[in-house]
Amino acid sequence: MTTEKLQALLDSMTIREKVGQLVQCNAGQFIQNDMEITGPEGELLPAEDLNRVMGSVLTFEDAAQAKALQDRHLAADPKKIPLLLMLDVIHGLRTTYPIPLAMGCSFDDDLMAECADMARKESAVCGVHVTFNPMVDTARDARWGRILETSSEEPLLNSRMGAAVVRATQGEDLSRPENVACCVKHFAAYGAPEGGRDYNTVDLSERTLREAYLPAYKACLDAGARLIMPSFNALNGIPSVANRWLMNRVLREEWGFNGVVISDYNAVGELVTHGVAENLKDAVRLSMLAGCDIDMVRNAYYLYLEDLVRDGVVPEEMLDQAVLRVLKLKNELGLFENPYHGADEEAEKKLYLCPAHREIARRAAEESAVLLKNEGILPLSDRIRKAALIGPFADERHLVGFWSRPGAWKDAVTLPEGIQALLPDLELIIERGCGAEIGDTDESGIDRAVEAARSADAVILALGEPENDSGEGRSRATLTLPGPQMTLARRVLAANPNTAVILFNGRPLELTELDELAPAILEMWYPGTEAGNAAARLLFGRANPCGKLSAGLPRSVGQYPMPYNRMNTGRPKPQPDSQAFPFTSCYLDTPNLPLYSFGHGLSYTTFSYESLTLDRTVMRPEESVRVTIRVRNTGSGAGKEVVQLYLRDPVASVVRPVQQLIDYRKISLEPGEVKEVAFTVTEEQLRFWDFDCSFRSEPGTFELSTGYADHLLLTRTFVLQ
């Protein structure tokens, strides 16, 4: 449809019809109740009218349902404006790949893009027009259960992963039925709730907000994301959906975003609960004036926006602009010509869980696993005749994570299935030992598990966190392994020292005691559909671990928030980190540094960093420094290494981080092979938000290092003139 026709359509619409475009209903409400719709607080809504005018729906099941919803709406709407169908496809639709936090550990933007591309194909045939993805909330506190949904605690990694998702999902041309529009979320700083408690208030300086939190949203918008979702939380006192500074000033004016803003689930209604709106009508006024185009699910716009426009409280011009943004998106998706977009029942059958998709998911699961520790136990030898598979995750299928599609766990491969597929002759004894639920105290299975451990040549101890303990609304105040898992671990590790621990969990856990006892720990996170196959291949050396932590693991939950790119203090703790130093910034009872820092991860081979060289030591602002890092595979097997480049600005007008990742690249090396990795450092990478919140660099000396957080290597300096 041409722009003129789109404008003519808008001009022909009544206020009620315009408001409808900004209303999003839950598909389940229509389908289950056959058009009887009840609002969240029990208002009986006129379903016929809602169906006639509404602009979008979320959460539907498949292509058949997508088409039925569209048909029903189009039959009722005299203007024949197609619905936008939206769904949360976070890490795969039917073929589930690892949770985003795990994908961050791959440090592999191309692999992330491959996974997102697979999810795009499955989403498109399901009938999805918009996915509520990527989620790029920087998270520095694992008490927050939604840390699993983000790629990292690190803004650059988060930005690159998010942008890769956007490009792969949207493609070049959204009107093509195989492409899906992205909604980046949750704007802004949803990942920094006080106390790590989901939905809680966020209080941040503008500099921290701009340096640590905003870049990833911006990167996704720069990559072309068409929608953005304001977060549930209040940011510095104002809930995001009503935050004019955030949405009008930063998003629209500074960043020039002209796509669609959609509230989070009932976030407009929650303005009343937050205590910034008198009532629902007032909440509609606040969120419309702040620039929120679509009201997700609450139907608040449906109930009150028409009156507010008629009374002149919300200018009709503002309504028109919001509606035009929605219509433009529909037009860009080609929905006026093809309202089903890619929905295709036959293609669903062919694509879902097809071998090619499973292969990508398996590779992603292998590349995102992090070998935390290995004292010669892993990989396990094929010569082992009898292995004991012990622990609550020893024979578990719920390995896909909270944000996978409902029922996706049923397709996941368990650990024993993966091991037996690889080694059919290996004798496996499986003992659960105990549960992993919070508050679980039943230790009655531990004796049998210990017996099994004693009788085996090797033990695989599968521990972790139940899938429902991380995700939305799943905050924890303690981060140790839940239930009696540590009792099980102590006894099994004492019974058979040839034990490798494998972990399935959705957040960084506090592993301090386990780390002291276990000779090998492999962190798998929630690996998705191919969990068991990927784990088996890693455990038995068919795949070589190469993941690096995308968020550090704490020694103690009391260390949070614990960003690796922390600021220096006036009294930094002298190193080594093992003891307290009075009157320095330290704990009396715990070292400052994480148990495992951001960027850590071992391999079955070893790498040595031979040199870091700069092509110049003095740089003018318009120039750049070329950094070359030489890495050698010093072990006996092929492996992949993530070469990381860190910056420090030792003296500046405001305090700067002690280390900051500014680039990374993953390389493959055969045994004995040497590779040089080159990075280019420009003046832009040296900028920061200064005292007056302007983004600029300052002349002076800068340090560049490789290695990983808290373990920097080969530091070289240069001067910016």
CB 375 within 8 A of CB 416: no
CB 502 within 8 A of CB 489: no
Alpha carbons 346 and 99: distance in angstroms, whole number: 28
Name residues contacting ligand NOJ, limited to 525-554 (CB under 6 A): none
Name residues contacting ligand NOJ, limited to 154-173 (CB under 6 A): none
Residues in the chain, overall count: 721
Among 479, 495, 511, CA closest to 433: 495
Count of residues in contact with ligand NOJ, rule CB under 6 A? 7
The residue (of 185 and 373) whose beta carbon lies closer to ligand NOJ is 185
The residue (of 137 and 649) whose beta carbon lies closer to ligand NOJ is 137
The residue (of 320 and 472) whose beta carbon lies closer to ligand NOJ is 472
Contact pattern from residue 89 through residue 128 relative to ligand NOJ, giving x for each residue in contact according to CB under 6 A and a dash for the rest: ----------------------------------------
The residue (of 170 and 331) whose beta carbon lies closer to ligand NOJ is 170
Q: How far is the CB of 35 from ligand NOJ (least distance, A)?
A: 22
Alpha carbons 69 and 58: distance in angstroms, whole number: 11
Residue 603: exposure state from Cβ atoms within 10 A (0-12, 13-18, ≥19): buried
Which amino acid belongs to residue 144? W
Strand spans (E) along 603-683: 607-614, 618-619, 624-633, 639-648, 660-669, 674-682
The residue (of 265 and 679) whose beta carbon lies closer to ligand NOJ is 265
Q: How far is the CB of 603 from ligand NOJ (least distance, A)?
A: 34
- Binds ligand NOJ by CB under 6 A, chosen from 77, 88, 108, 367: 88
Q: How far is the CB of 190 from ligand NOJ (least distance, A)?
A: 8
Alpha carbons 566 and 594: distance in angstroms, whole number: 12
Contact pattern from residue 3 through residue 42 relative to ligand NOJ, giving x for each residue in contact according to CB under 6 A and a dash for the rest: ----------------------------------------
Q: How far is the CB of 265 from ligand NOJ (least distance, A)?
A: 4
- What is the distance of C-alpha 549 from the center of its chain? 14
Q: How far is the CB of 161 from ligand NOJ (least distance, A)?
A: 17
Q: How far is the CB of 630 from ligand NOJ (least distance, A)?
A: 43
- Using CB under 6 A as the binding rule, whether residue 60 contacts ligand NOJ is answered as no
The residue (of 242 and 389) whose beta carbon lies closer to ligand NOJ is 242
- Binds ligand NOJ by CB under 6 A, chosen from 345, 472, 515, 577: 472
Alpha carbons 645 and 143: distance in angstroms, whole number: 28
- Binds ligand NOJ by CB under 6 A, chosen from 17, 154, 264, 295: 264
Among 187, 441, 181, 216, CA closest to 290: 187
Q: How far is the CB of 136 from ligand NOJ (least distance, A)?
A: 12
Q: How far is the CB of 132 from ligand NOJ (least distance, A)?
A: 3
- Using CB under 6 A as the binding rule, whether residue 437 contacts ligand NOJ is answered as no
Alpha helices in 519-636 (DSSP H): 531-539
The residue (of 133 and 705) whose beta carbon lies closer to ligand NOJ is 133
- Using CB under 6 A as the binding rule, whether residue 61 contacts ligand NOJ is answered as no
Alpha carbons 392 and 483: distance in angstroms, whole number: 10
Name residues contacting ligand NOJ, limited to 587-646 (CB under 6 A): none
Q: How far is the CB of 151 from ligand NOJ (least distance, A)?
A: 15
CA 702, 707, 711, 716 torsion: positive or negative? negative
Q: b vs e for 506-534, b when ≥16 Cβ sit within 10 Å of the residue's Cβ?
A: bbbbbbeebbebbbbbbbbbbbbbbbbbb
- Using CB under 6 A as the binding rule, whether residue 199 contacts ligand NOJ is answered as no
Q: Does the annotation mark 442 as catalytic?
A: no
Alpha carbons 559 and 574: distance in angstroms, whole number: 17
Q: 574 preceded by cis ω (within 30°)?
A: no
Question: Of all helices (H) and strands (E), which one includes residue 112?
Answer: helix 109-126
Q: How far is the CB of 127 from ligand NOJ (least distance, A)?
A: 16
Question: Of all helices (H) and strands (E), which one includes residue 503?
Answer: strand 499-504
- Using CB under 6 A as the binding rule, whether residue 132 contacts ligand NOJ is answered as yes
CB 348 within 8 A of CB 62: yes
The residue (of 270 and 344) whose beta carbon lies closer to ligand NOJ is 270
CB 658 within 8 A of CB 565: yes
The residue (of 155 and 191) whose beta carbon lies closer to ligand NOJ is 191
- Using CB under 6 A as the binding rule, whether residue 265 contacts ligand NOJ is answered as yes
With a CB cutoff of 8 Å and minimum separation 6, the contacts of 588 are 580
Which tokens sit at 650?
């030792």
Which tokens sit at 437?
């639920």
The residue (of 217 and 646) whose beta carbon lies closer to ligand NOJ is 217
Q: How far is the CB of 88 from ligand NOJ (least distance, A)?
A: 5
- Using CB under 6 A as the binding rule, whether residue 185 contacts ligand NOJ is answered as yes
Q: Which residue is nearest to ligand NOJ (CB)?
A: 132
Cβ of 172: how many Cβ atoms within 10 Å? 8
Question: Of all helices (H) and strands (E), which one includes residue 25?
Answer: strand 23-26
Q: Of 137, 198, 264, 649, which is the active-site residue?
A: 264
The residue (of 29 and 499) whose beta carbon lies closer to ligand NOJ is 29
**DSSP state letter for 142:** T
Question: Does residue 693 come out as left (phi exceeding 0), alpha (psi in the -120 to 50 range) or beta?
Answer: left
Q: How many CA atoms lie within 13 A of 336 on its CB side?
A: 15
Among 198, 242, 251, 193, CA closest to 221: 251
Name residues contacting ligand NOJ, limited to 655-684 (CB under 6 A): none
What residues are labeled active site?
Answer: 264
Residues forming the site for ligand NOJ (CB under 6 A): 58, 88, 132, 185, 264-265, 472
